[in-house]
Structure 1
Amino acid sequence: MKSLKKGVLTLSLAGALALSAVPMNSTVVEAVGNGPGYGGNETINTSILTTYSEMADFLKKQDAKQANMELEVIGQSVKGRDLYVAKYMTNPENPTILFLTQQHGNEQLTTEGALEFIKHLGTGKMKGVTDNVNILVVPMLNADGAMGDVDFSLDDYVASGDRNLTRYNAVGVDLNRDHVDKIQPETKALHDNVMSKYDIDYMIDLHHQGVNSERDGELVSGSILYPTTPNADPDVVEGSKKLGAVVFNAVDSTGWGHLGKYRGGDAETISRNGIAVEYGISTLLFEMRGMSDHEYEPYVLGQKSNGYLIKQTITTLESTVRAIADGSIDTQDISFWDTLAFQQTRETE
């Protein structure tokens, strides 16, 4: 699997070497926070990213290799690409968490991390963890946008390489604004064949944001937020805040991760809000720093931060799975939310 191997190579060499050079108790955010934005100077080459077909091949190989994994097609995209969920459902009585990536096709490093996490689940690194937690992973929901196979022009997008990646699906719709009407085949597949089918307790919706957000004067590696619609059940919101506490403690303590509070809206067309209300699921939005491609240059991050963003995704998925499996999520201190600063946009020259 050519592109995934390249992504993992970026993480294992450049990312891991830099990680080892940063003290774990350091508050200096060198890796993700201060990695370069595009700025017209950085190389943005999408050929290093996993393609849809490479992802599908990878998932099928892992399905054949891993006894606890089951791969299911939940529907098709506008252009007819199969959409997948990787399932680890060892006990229906276990609490269940869903990880959702790439509703926006140009936000791919979360998918790279999710694929690496799936590989980890088949190794000794996660031995026994799936005995006490069920895991669902829906990677690359917007498969057409991820491949640039869309019915509108991408001439203004900045990346070079095999393809441009777009936020929208093939017909120009933002899937993360379609969680009430569920008109698009991608969101309909997610709701009909995942949200309605499984008894899910937690969901993390993984995205990317712009590159110039900061907290306490330092550029962030990402931002998090719980459901903010007034229609969400208070117990659901509390569970969401506990999920966020696990993520914050795991990432912000590393020295290379630095999280702020996301400024998000209350609309229930957004998955963070709509899914919490409709299904009573505790949800968390995680916005990683920088996008793979965009028409707006300040949203695109230079590739020197790729390894850290992949690592941040893996850290997020692994920490939440372990906390749910051992029950420690139930005792998380959520008071940090009261003092966690909203990220601000840094002024640029």
Structure 2
Amino acid sequence: MKKTMMTMAIAGALTLGATQVAPMQTEAVGNGPGYGGNETINTSILTSHSEMAAFLRKQEAKQKDMQLEVIGQSMKGRDLFLVKYMKNPDNPTILFLTQQHGNEALTTEGALDFIKSLGTGKMKGVTDNVNILIVPRLNPDGAAGDVNFSLDDYVASGDHHLTRYNANGVDLNRDHVTRIQPETKALHDNVLSAYDIDYMIDLHHQGPNSEVDGELVSGSILYPTTPNVSDDVLAGSKQLGAVVYDAISKKGWGHIGKYPGGSAETISRNGIAVEYGISTILFEMRGMADHEYPSYVLGQKSNGYLIKQTVTTLESTTRAIADGSIHSKDTSFWDDLPTQTSRQSEE
């Protein structure tokens, strides 16, 4: 394994293929509107799995550096996709993983925007010096609400709900040791074991009520916290987090805290770092797209900035690895980064 290693809120629903931003009142991003039962949560604005598949195939046809691979199928038979930019196997490689939890959807929307940007002049030349792997949705059944348990209590309107769990009711981000579920097995067998990966960012969403210094966070980050992680992998993880922190914090709409995560190696951030020697970061964006607990759901007027936060994260880390600047990142900020707390009791 190679190891060289607000205040304006952007609002509106970003849809695949065209970024649309609807105006809203200017305010700090962390204080953007929660759901609170005051609006309709419309999941039709999110990219369906068939729409995503069509988009990925279209981008593969347009982008000479992009390859699309099917790495397996979900429990309900949906294709699991891997997007690859691999011009030189000797280049450092980063993996972006989204939607292990089906109701954590906006990071996938951001990943699709990022893929589109890789085919434009904006990112010209970056793939000459870094290999990029993207799993844009590991849990398509949960994202489609096509599961073997009831979602009647979920918040979103209509029949299309999104749930944390896969079709079997299993949390995929607790299946990285036994790998019983087809989704996690495909990830490990056909991505993590098949490619020489140096870095991984695992993108999630959390509840909307976490705060740092009295201000609601736009997201929170964490490196591997298992005691079994090697020193060099931990150092690389902290550098990766420093890139993310610096890129988001310099935006007027970003406010980052430290995530209070555990040390279990069934969690990807920990288990993957130990088993494969990959430097990993968890990024938890604010709010969820659907849930049985209304307090976990964020109003959709906040979608735009969260998608933008994802794109910023993917672009900044890709560039830092490509130009080598990641190796000179100051990681001392971790010593002072406050661990987020909950502003109010979440159910």
Correspondences of 1:183-332 after superposition (within 5 Å): 183-332=180-329
Alpha-carbon distance in 2 for matches of 1:205, 1:225: 10
Contact 1:182–1:188 (CA under 8 A) maintained in structure 2: yes
Q: Are 1:177 and 2:174 an aligned pair?
A: yes
- Runs of 5+ consecutive residues of structure 1 not aligned to the other structure: 23-29
Q: 1:123 aligns with which of 120, 123, 135?
A: 120
Paired residue for 1:26?
none
Distance 1:139 1:168 in 2: 16
8 Å CA contact retained: 1:204, 1:284: yes
Deviation at residue 8 of structure 1 after TM alignment? 6.5
3-state SS of the aligned residue for 1:38? coil
1:136 aligns with 2:136: no
RMSD: 1.5
Deviation at residue 160 of structure 1 after TM alignment: 1.0
In 2: Cα distance, 1:257 partner to 1:42 partner? 24
CA spacing shift, 1:120–1:46, aligned 2, 3 Å: same
What residue is the counterpart of 2:15 in the other structure?
6
Counterpart-to-counterpart distance in 2, 1:332 and 1:162:
47
When the two structures are aligned, how many residues end up with a matched partner? 334
Q: Is the 8 A contact 1:114 1:313 kept in 2?
A: yes
What pairs up with 1:1-40 in 2 under 5 angstroms?
6=15, 12-14=20-22, 30-40=27-37
**Aligned with 1:92 (options 85, 89, 100):** 89
List alignment gaps of at least 5 residues for structure 2.
1-12
Letter in 2 for 1:92: P
Q: Which residue of 1 aligns with 2:44?
A: 47
TM-score by length of 1: 0.93
- Aligned partner letter, 1:145: G
Whichever residue aligns with residue 223 of structure 1, its letter is: S
The answer as to whether partners of 1:243 and 1:284 remain within 8 angstroms in 2 is yes
The residue aligned with 1:25 is none
Q: Which moved more, 1:41-50 or 1:164-173?
A: 41-50
TM-score, normalised via structure 2 length: 0.94
Following the alignment from structure 2 to structure 1, what is the Cα–Cα distance between the partners of residues 119 and 266?
A: 35
TM-superposed CA distance for 1:338, in Å, is: 0.1
Matched, 1:59 2:63: no
Aligned partners of 2:211 and 2:135: how far apart in 1? 29
Aligned counterpart in structure 2 of residue 70 of structure 1, from 62, 67, 72: 67
- Cα pair 1:31 1:305 within 8 Å, conserved: no
Kindly provide the CA deviation profile for residues 90-136 of structure 1, in whole angstroms up to 9, marking residues without a partner as x: 00010000000000000000000000000000000100000000000
Tell me the distance in 1 between the aligned counterparts of 2:120 and 2:51: 21
Deviation sequence 1:172-215 (CA, Å, 0-9, x none): 00000000000000000000000000000000000000000000
* Match of residue 27 from structure 1: none
1:12, 1:244 → 2: CA distance?
29
- Counterpart-to-counterpart distance in 2, 1:31 and 1:120: 27
Change (3 A) 1:195 1:59: same
Q: Give distance in 2, aligned partners of 1:161 and 1:31.
A: 31
Query: What does residue 335 of structure 1 align with?
Result: 332
Aligned equivalent of 2:8: none
Q: Name the CA distance, whole Å, in 2 between partners of 1:60 and 1:53.
A: 11
Please give the alpha-carbon distance, in whole angstroms, between the structure 2 residues aligned to 1:6 and 1:228. Answer: 35
The structure richer in helix per residue is 1
Determine helix, strand or coil for the equivalent of 1:42: coil
Deviation at 1:6, TM superposition (A): 3.0
Contact 2:14 2:307 in 1 (8 A): no
Note the C-alpha offset of 1:42. Answer: 2.4
What SS does structure 1 have at the residue aligned with 2:203?
strand
Q: Residue deviations 1:141-174, cap 9 Å, x none?
A: 0000000000000001001145100000001000
- Percent identity, aligned pairs only, is 77
Indicate if the aligned counterparts of 2:103 and 2:162 stay in contact, CA closer than 8 A: yes
Structure 1 segments of 4+ aligned residues over 4 angstroms from their partners = none
